[in-house]
Structure 1
Amino acid sequence: MTGQPRRLTIRLRLTLTYTALILLTGGAMLATVFAVLAIVPGYAFTAGPFPYGTTHDLYTINGRDDVLRLFLIVSLPALVVIGGIGGIVSWFVAGRLLQPLRQIAATAERLDDRNLDARIAVDGPHDEIRDVADTVNAMLDRLEASFTSRSRFTANASHELRTPLASMKTMLQVALRTEHPPETARTLDRLHTTVDQMTSITAALLELARGDSDLAARPVALRNEVASALHTVDAELVARRLRVTVRLDDVVVTGEPVLLRQLVVNLVRNAVVHNVPGGAIDIAVTAQPRVRLTVANDGRAITSAEAATLTEPFRRLDRARSDGSGFGLGLALVQKVATAHGATLELTPRDGGGLLVAVTFGAGDQRNAVD
């Protein structure tokens, strides 16, 4: 939104234009007739009432001036009536002409990266508006093909990479069990770590591709997922002396369990990786007014503009100090999963440094957990 005042709608502007043209045309015709009557030489008028044959003296014509006045009395109301009828007809005609544009706007409103199969169905003659609709449909065809190709490539590439990576990891694990010189052992250990990192990024890419598919929705207790995620990072919490505070309401949401688990794990791991030694993590799950998961962590101060870019894939703000444990896919995956579940993701910089991440689920997702 630019803050500029809203102009009249195209339909209203067309209606006003058509009505003005009707009035101008009618006024010009009446003015022409009036001018002709005014310059015609005098006639011998028969005095009498108007209209002819009435018994009431509504308007008596005695000369040309009386005729001109009568012409104005009759023609001006007729012009107003014609203009009103023309305005009403123009309103409906303009609405009919602009109907395809409303269809285009409604279709564009429904579109997102998970709903690119919508098309604009325009009936009627092959005119300029039909050309616009056909052009938009062709653009949507290209976008859908591009998104489908990208998702298929990402999924296939990620899937194909998992097998050789798993084989490499197994071979390195076998090699690490054998005695080697210190330098060789360190190299094998670094290779093992690198393979783990490649496996993680491959899994994340596969999850990003899966985010566009249909979800097998089941009830998921968020408090259980938070507890499980904290358990997976327990060693890192101890090593970095991080303090964790949790406040968890007993609620569930409806969604795909694997993806929701990945969402929670990524939020918790992000809060650990980008924290400061001895920092704090605050995790909360609240039920009212909607189910809301928030994860806040300490860290360096960032701006709102920087926070807005964190959901972009491979986006990391502190590469210089990164220990290699992240690839900039965590929050991108969180955004993808949240969107797939109809939830909203908010990233808010904290005043003292760090980040507050909030995932708010739809109203229909909230319900009490079942024991």
Structure 2
Amino acid sequence: MRKWRRRTVRLRFTVLYGAMFLLSAVGLLAITTLVGLGGTRVSRFAPPGSPPVEPATLAAATDRIAWLQAQLSDVHAAQSRRLLIGAALALGVMAVVSVVLGRVIAGRVLRPLRTITAATRRISADNLHERLAARGPADEVKALADTIDELLERLENSFAAQRRFVANASHELRTPLATMRACLDVALAKPEPIPPQTAALADRLRTELDQVDRLLEDFLMLARTQHGALADRTTLSLRDLATAAVDARAGDITVNQLTVHSAGAVDSAWTQGNRTLLTRMIDNVVDNAVTHNHEGGWIRLATTVDGTTAQLVVETGGRILDQEQVDRLTQPFQRLGADRIDSGNGSGLGLSIVAAVAAAHGGTLDLRARPEGGLRVAVSLPAAVPARVPA
């Protein structure tokens, strides 16, 4: 029902062309019927120049003529019925043929537009260098394709300028950060006694510089993931990457008395992609689970394979969250609040990087607020054939 409610251009063209063909058929059948019915009329008068009829045979001749006229009338009525039935059948056939022809002609007229639509859908931020390059006469369709090509060129230049700005700004900012860190180290390395306030201030500044350095690294990672080409693809196990990420945060997990366990059977969940990006993605998911947690809380990890999809699911407990706020966590610098173990860490780009890396590998990130409290993070990636382990 919904399909018929959509008044597409092809449907309108089909109705228009079908109605034109049908009206033409109706006019042709009407003219043919009128001509056929007019030609079957029988004259009731004797032709001029007929010889006179004798009175003796006049009565018999009149009866014979009346009988012949009755027969002719019956034949004329039968022919008229057959002609009308044939016209009705022909009209029905022409109605079907008109709709079919209208649809075929509408499809041929709209074929260039469908080609342009399909090509435009294939073009995304990762392949803005592609163009429609429509061929044919300089008509309205080619003008539309050329306009879309010009728009794609402007978008490509804009994305390239954005990538260059992010990369250059991040690299240029690292130089003064390194200089400031070196100045702090030199100041603290002097032989004279350093006041405790100065030492505390230096430690504080060094911590903030490290935070800014991590923020710049996140910017570079996000820019590379969103607009860069993936290279050095290899087959990796999501289970192994998740285990390595948990081992790397073992100290924080122990200090904050967090419990980490697997949910049911754990699959290797093989996928294919860039090792650096996938490692960073899973590190961010585990970091988010550790950071956004309560002291004495828990973390549940599961890796599964469902058909052609490999999935990593990380769940944490905690307070009941608002799903609308959770949906915004994939945007840069979005946080759930200060209910975290180490609220001083984190740039607000962690889950943004996770979503960008998953999308770059043809996967998705799904964030759900658990009804009983806490967060469920599910990363789905295309499954791959398991890598061969050397004997």
TM range (shorter): 0.7 to 0.9
Change beyond 3 A, Cα 1:30–1:325: same
- Corresponding residue for residue 287 of structure 2: 269
Q: What is the one-letter code of the residue matched to 1:194?
A: E
Change beyond 3 A, Cα 1:6–1:22: closer
Please give the residue correspondences for 1:84-163 in structure 2 after superposition, counting only pairs within 5 Å. 84-163=96-175
Identity of aligned residues (%): 38
After TM superposition, give the deviation of residue 122 of structure 1 in Å. Answer: 3.4
Change beyond 3 A, Cα 1:80–1:369: same
CA distance in 2, matches of 1:17, 1:342: 43
CA distance in 2, matches of 1:45, 1:15: 50
Change beyond 3 A, Cα 1:67–1:315: same
Matched, 1:310 2:329: yes
- The structure richer in helix per residue is 2
Matched, 1:255 2:273: yes
- Corresponding residue for residue 23 of structure 1: 22
Q: What is the one-letter code of the residue matched to 1:226?
A: A
Q: Tell me if structure 2 keeps the 8 A contact 1:255–1:341.
A: yes
Q: Tell me if structure 1 keeps the 8 A contact 2:316–2:375.
A: yes
Match of residue 7, structure 1, among 2, 5, 8: 5
- Corresponding residue for residue 203 of structure 1: 217
Change beyond 3 A, Cα 1:232–1:175: farther
- Corresponding residue for residue 327 of structure 1: 347
- Corresponding residue for residue 233 of structure 2: 217
Please give the residue correspondences for 1:278-293 in structure 2 after superposition, counting only pairs within 5 Å. 278-287=296-305, 289=307, 290-293=309-312
After TM superposition, give the deviation of residue 193 of structure 1 in Å. Answer: 0.9
Which structure has the higher relative contact order (CA within 8 Å, separation 6+)?
Answer: 2
Worse-superposed segment, 239-248 or 195-204: 239-248
Q: Tell me if structure 2 keeps the 8 A contact 1:60–1:66.
A: no
Worse-superposed segment, 95-104 or 160-169: 160-169
CA distance in 1, matches of 2:73, 2:137: 54
TM-score, L = length of structure 1: 0.81
| Alignment deviations for residues 286-340 of structure 1 (CA, whole Å, 9 cap, x no partner) | 3454432221122332222222211111112215877231111001111111112
Change beyond 3 A, Cα 1:78–1:252: closer
SS of 2:329's partner is coil
Can you give the 5+ residue segments of structure 2 that lack an aligned partner in the other structure? Answer: 47-70
Change beyond 3 A, Cα 1:6–1:269: farther
- Corresponding residue for residue 337 of structure 1: 357
Q: Tell me if structure 1 keeps the 8 A contact 2:365–2:379.
A: yes
Change beyond 3 A, Cα 1:224–1:96: same
Deviant stretches of 4+, over 6 Å: 32-40, 59-71
Q: Tell me if structure 2 keeps the 8 A contact 1:100–1:133.
A: no
Q: Tell me if structure 2 keeps the 8 A contact 1:280–1:298.
A: yes
CA distance in 1, matches of 2:25, 2:3: 34
TM-score, L = length of structure 2: 0.77
- Corresponding residue for residue 381 of structure 2: 361
Change beyond 3 A, Cα 1:182–1:76: same
CA distance in 2, matches of 1:103, 1:354: 47
Match of residue 176, structure 2, among 164, 176, 189: 164
After TM superposition, give the deviation of residue 215 of structure 1 in Å. Answer: 2.1
CA distance in 2, matches of 1:67, 1:314: 86
Q: Tell me if structure 2 keeps the 8 A contact 1:46–1:61.
A: no
Can you give the 5+ residue segments of structure 1 that lack an aligned partner in the other structure? Answer: 48-58
- Corresponding residue for residue 197 of structure 2: 183
Matched, 1:173 2:185: yes
Change beyond 3 A, Cα 1:97–1:280: same
CA distance in 1, matches of 2:125, 2:160: 9
CA distance in 1, matches of 2:125, 2:313: 26
- Corresponding residue for residue 367 of structure 2: 347
After TM superposition, give the deviation of residue 268 of structure 1 in Å. Answer: 0.9
